[in-house]
């Protein structure tokens, strides 16, 4: 209960009839009744909120699932307190600092030139090509040799050359202006239609291109949320 602290909540529950008698002696029974009424409202909504949450848990996960989730939450909280112990916290902090230092060394090598302001004079084409070669040859995980399990999806050298040629033809294209770039609109519509066909989409289904994996995941979550609300009335979904 974020809007009232525990001490204040339980102090309300410990009130007795002696408070009423004291109020009568002071002549402020009306204000006392108001406080009692407010206390009852607070308790009612507190119990209502947690009763609803318990019922939702039981409905969504069942009794065993709810117990398993409570067990997992207890383990996670206990482990968090364990990591805060003085000796453990020092070791964890040391490992985190080492990981950050290693990452910084790899991401920002000490022997590279950093450009933090615009040059006073524009670079020549040869200077730009030289800098691009330097960036491309920086020390990195050799994705070209298959040393990463994700992040890069390619089909060998021939396909890369074809992709580069295709990008070159539409470098300045802006898909939000289909009247100016009808070819881009056609490609997007056809790709969406292909994906809908793969997933046996019903008549009237639609789709849209995304900017990458994260955007795709977020839009999938949004679609699931809207579907749950429209079909089952879910107003507080959980991930």
Q: Please give the pLDDT value at position 31.
A: 66
User: Domain span at residue 17?
Assistant: 6-89
What's the rounded Cα separation, in Å, for the pair 148 and 65? 36
DSSP letters along the chain, please? Answer: -TTS-HHHHHHHHT--HHHHHHHHHHT-HHHHHHHHHHHHHHHHHHHHHHHHHHHHHHHHHHHHHHHHHHHHHHHHHHHHHHHTSHHHHHHHHHHHHHHHHHHHHHHS-TTS----S--SSPPPHHHHHHHHHHHHTSS---GGGT--SSS----HHHHHHHHHHHHHHTTT--TT-TTT-HHHHHHHHHHHHHHHHHTTPPTT------SSHHHHHHHHHHHHHHHHHHHH--SS---
CB 46 within 8 A of CB 9: yes
Report how far Cα 151 is from the mean position of its chain's Cα atoms. Answer: 18
CB 6 within 8 A of CB 42: no
Q: Could you tell me if residue 174 is inside a domain?
A: no
- Residue 22, token pair as written in the block: 């004291």
How does DSSP classify residue 199? T
Tally of domains within the chain: 1
Q: Please give the pLDDT value at position 30.
A: 54
Q: Could you tell me if residue 16 is inside a domain?
A: yes
Q: Could you tell me if residue 160 is inside a domain?
A: no
What's the rounded Cα separation, in Å, for the pair 152 and 155? 10
Q: Could you tell me if residue 27 is inside a domain?
A: yes
Q: Please give the pLDDT value at position 19.
A: 58
Q: Could you tell me if residue 21 is inside a domain?
A: yes
Report how far Cα 237 is from the mean position of its chain's Cα atoms. Answer: 14
What are residue 184's phi and psi, to 5 degrees?
-65, -40
Q: Please give the pLDDT value at position 77.
A: 93
Mapped onto helix, strand or coil, the DSSP state of residue 201 is coil
Q: Could you tell me if residue 81 is inside a domain?
A: yes
pLDDT digits (tens), the chain, 239 positions: 444 444 454 454 455 555 555 655 555 555 667 777 888 888 888 899 889 888 888 887 788 888 888 899 999 999 988 888 888 888 888 999 999 988 888 787 777 888 899 999 999 999 999 999 988 888 887 877 777 877 787 777 888 889 899 999 999 999 889 999 999 999 999 999 999 999 999 998 988 888 888 999 999 999 999 999 999 888 888 87
Q: Please give the pLDDT value at position 28.
A: 56
Q: For the whole model, what pTM was predicted? A: 0.56
Q: Could you tell me if residue 137 is inside a domain?
A: no
Q: Could you tell me if residue 11 is inside a domain?
A: yes
CB 158 within 8 A of CB 132: no
């Amino acid at each position: 209960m974020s809007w009232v602290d525990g001490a204040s909540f339980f102090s309300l529950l410990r009130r007795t009839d002696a408070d009423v008698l004291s109020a009568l002696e002071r002549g402020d029974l009306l204000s006392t009744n108001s406080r009692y009424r407010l206390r009852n409202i607070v308790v009612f909504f507190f119990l209502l909120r947690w009763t609803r949450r318990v019922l939702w848990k039981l409905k969504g996960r069942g009794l065993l699932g709810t117990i398993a989730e409570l067990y997992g939450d207890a383990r996670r909280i206990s482990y968090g307190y364990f990591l805060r112990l003085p000796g453990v916290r020092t070791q964890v902090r040391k490992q985190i600092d080492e990981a950050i230092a290693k990452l910084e060394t790899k991401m920002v090598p000490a022997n590279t030139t950093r450009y933090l302001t615009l040059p006073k004079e524009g670079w020549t084409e040869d200077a730009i090509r030289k800098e691009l070669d330097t960036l491309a040859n920086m020390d990195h995980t050799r994705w070209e040799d298959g040393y990463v399990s994700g992040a890069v999806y390619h089909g060998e050298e021939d396909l890369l050359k074809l992709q580069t040629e295709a990008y070159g033809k539409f470098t300045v294209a802006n898909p939000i202006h289909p009247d100016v770039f009808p070819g881009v609109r056609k490609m997007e519509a056809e790709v969406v239609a292909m994906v809908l066909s793969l997933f046996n989409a019903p008549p009237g289904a639609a789709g849209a291109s995304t900017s990458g994996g994260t955007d795709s995941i977020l839009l999938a979550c949004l679609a699931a949320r809207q579907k749950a609300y429209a079909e089952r009335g879910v107003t507080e979904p959980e991930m």
